[in-house]
Amino acid sequence: MGASGRVRQDEVYRGGITGRRPVVPTAFPALERRAKRAMTRRAWAYVAGGAGSEETVAANRAAFARHRIVPRMLRGVGERDTSVEIFGRRYDHPLLLAPIGALDLVSRRADLAVVHGAAQAGVPMIVSNQAGFPSEEIAPYATAGWWSQLYWSTSDDLVDSFLARAEAAGAGAVVVTLDTTVLGWRPRDLDLGHLPFARGLGIAQYTSDPVFARLTRETADGPSRAAPTPTPAAVRTLLEISRNHPGRFADNLRSPLPRAAVETFLRVYSRPTLNWDDIATLRTRTRLPVVLKGVLHPDDARRALDVGVDGVLVSNHGGRQVDGSVATLDALPGVVAAVDGRAPVLLDSGVRSGSDVARALALGATAVCLGRPFAYGLAIAGAAGVAQVVRDVLAELDLTLALAGAQRPADLEVAPFGTTEPVVRPRG
């Protein structure tokens, strides 16, 4: 059953009687403003920033504005059902948390706060390959489920190790991110000269991995690279790397391994030559359902199914990779038509509210992933902030269905901006 929007409204309005107001703003613009105040300059640049001139960040939002719900009246919608089945498991809500890496920039022990928030709100978390904790330490708290996100490393052994670990820790699926075979051109981070991974943040999945440990020892034993000039900033970075590396700070300071781990990570984390043949090998490498993240073209969606993939996630990484890329809501109908009901189609990038979720579902998405908004909830109020952002999105989704005369998302009607003729749902 869908989360009752009225329950959430009641909670807020009743709290208001005794002078309590929501700690986390309930709409995105205020949420974003509050989060910015709660974050360091570097964290804000990393999370809010996009590629290039951030046209795609804006395009993702513009695409939602170009699609309008056409409410239908008098349909007697007393109860709404937004539950959805994906890979044989029924989820209460058509919402997952998108994988977001390096969240330790935002708050300490961030991924544990996120998984607690997700569990409180009853939604699954997609655990990033760039999390600040190993999946094994996050998974036990993911009572509403979790999936594992993978960046395909240049080391096949490391890929196999990540896949085996995800399976052993009970992931519901593996989400292979295709759109980050190299890092996009991100001016906000570039202008600060800041990359979290170079400071040992967001590499815990790697430093907890036996294959990566071997690669790191090889780096440490190999020809040593010239140490950076010992400026005060370089010393601070070294201290940060030692602090972020597993083990005792004092030991890390004396060991070559923390720096070697960062160097190794930067060398192996993603494979620019990744191609369809690699993806085809996944069927023999893991028993987990495989979702490809970053699919935007109908032909890529068809090809994904041809090579045995189980689902696709229409994403442009929140506009962080290809500036000028197509908006995901615009790409969605073509992908849904190509998939033709054979596999789940998820969407992210630009989802900011329950109304956005409703529009994506109306255009054929099976479920939707929430990105930056939950990171902002985290910045403001930790696990409770994550839970509140998610609950608010779900509450608005439920109220939107009620007000649009839709008992379930499939009943929603959406028209292109400026028209009232609903789009014919592409789902078969």
Ligand X SMILES: Cc1cc2nc3c(=O)[nH]c(=O)nc-3n(C[C@H](O)[C@H](O)[C@H](O)COP(=O)(O)O)c2cc1C
Instruction: Supply 18's token pair.
Output: 């005794």
Our finding on whether 47 is near ligand X (CB under 6 A) is yes
Our finding on whether 100 is near ligand X (CB under 6 A) is yes
Residues 123 and 394: their CA atoms lie apart, in Å, by 10
Residues 48-77 close enough to bind ligand X by CB under 6 A: none
Q: How far is the CB of 394 from ligand X (least distance, A)?
A: 16
Residues 94 and 85: their CA atoms lie apart, in Å, by 9
Of 169, 156, 102, 96, nearest in space to 129 by CA: 102
Our finding on whether 177 is near ligand X (CB under 6 A) is yes
Residues 291-310 close enough to bind ligand X by CB under 6 A: 293
Catalytic hit among 67, 93, 116, 317: 317
Q: Are 342 and 308 in contact (CB under 8 A)?
A: no
Segment contacting ligand X by CB under 6 A, of 66-74, 244-252, 348-356, 389-397: 348-356
* Identity of the residue, 238 or 292, whose beta carbon is nearer to ligand X in the bound complex: 292
Our finding on whether 149 is near ligand X (CB under 6 A) is yes
Our finding on whether 325 is near ligand X (CB under 6 A) is no
Our finding on whether 128 is near ligand X (CB under 6 A) is yes
Q: Could you say which of 25, 101, 122, 184 contacts ligand X (CB under 6 A)?
A: 101
Residues 198 and 191: their CA atoms lie apart, in Å, by 15
* 317 part of the active site: yes
Helix (H) / strand (E) element for 414: namely strand 414-416
Q: Cα–Cα distances in Å, from 394 out to 56, 59, 389, 398?
A: 25, 24, 9, 6
Q: Could you say which of 371, 377, 382, 409 contacts ligand X (CB under 6 A)?
A: 371
Give the β-pairing of 125-127 and 89-91. unpaired
Q: SS3 of 15, please?
A: helix
Q: How far is the CB of 100 from ligand X (least distance, A)?
A: 4
Q: Could you say which of 63, 95, 98, 296 contacts ligand X (CB under 6 A)?
A: 98
Instruction: Supply 194's token pair.
Output: 């800041």
Q: Are 99 and 138 in contact (CB under 8 A)?
A: no
* Identity of the residue, 8 or 293, whose beta carbon is nearer to ligand X in the bound complex: 293
Helices marked H in 122-186: 135-138, 156-168
Q: How far is the CB of 181 from ligand X (least distance, A)?
A: 12
Q: Could you say which of 46, 91, 212, 265 contacts ligand X (CB under 6 A)?
A: 46
Our finding on whether 317 is near ligand X (CB under 6 A) is yes
* Identity of the residue, 199 or 320, whose beta carbon is nearer to ligand X in the bound complex: 320
* Identity of the residue, 60 or 407, whose beta carbon is nearer to ligand X in the bound complex: 60
Instruction: Supply 211's token pair.
Output: 């294959």
Which residues partner with 369 through β-bridges? 96
Our finding on whether 323 is near ligand X (CB under 6 A) is no
Our finding on whether 162 is near ligand X (CB under 6 A) is no
Contacts of 238 (CB under 8 A, 6+ apart): 253, 259
- The set of catalytic residues is 317
Report the interface residues with ligand X, using CB under 6 A.
Answer: 46-47, 98-101, 128-130, 149, 177, 293, 315, 317-318, 320, 348-351, 371-372
